Amino acid sequence: MPEIMVNGSPVQVSEAGWLDDIREWTEAIAEAIAAAEGVSLTEEHWDVIRVVRAHFDEYGMVPEQRILMKLLKEKFGADRSTQTYLYQLFPHGVLKQGNKIAGLPRPKGCS
């Protein structure tokens, strides 16, 4: 089983780099997954990560794209909730990269 090293400890991930046990997620793990994805996390990335994790904690599922955009618009305004904005943060898509970095389960249809 593949793994990534985080602070000197191995963390199990899937072949595609998704965290095997979402309960293990930490910000350090997020940084390691982001680095493997070629993403340098900024505060704007963390804002999105916190929103998707809060939605998952409340509803037990990752938010669909339109729901995420609505949540981001309510919290941060229209300029930080567009697809263009999200693709600037997560070039391979927020549903794939954002949820992966947030340590959440892979949404259906994401590789």
Which residues 6+ apart lie within 8 Å of 39 measured at CB?
45, 89, 90, 91, 97, 101
Cβ atoms of 70 and 80 within 8 Å: the answer is: no
- Compute CA distances 23 → 7, 28, 104, whole Å: 17, 13, 9
Among 4, 67, 71, 110, which one carries the catalytic annotation?
Answer: 110
Known catalytic membership, residue 99: no
Roughly how many angstroms between the first and final C-alpha of the chain, as a whole number? 17
Active site residues: 110
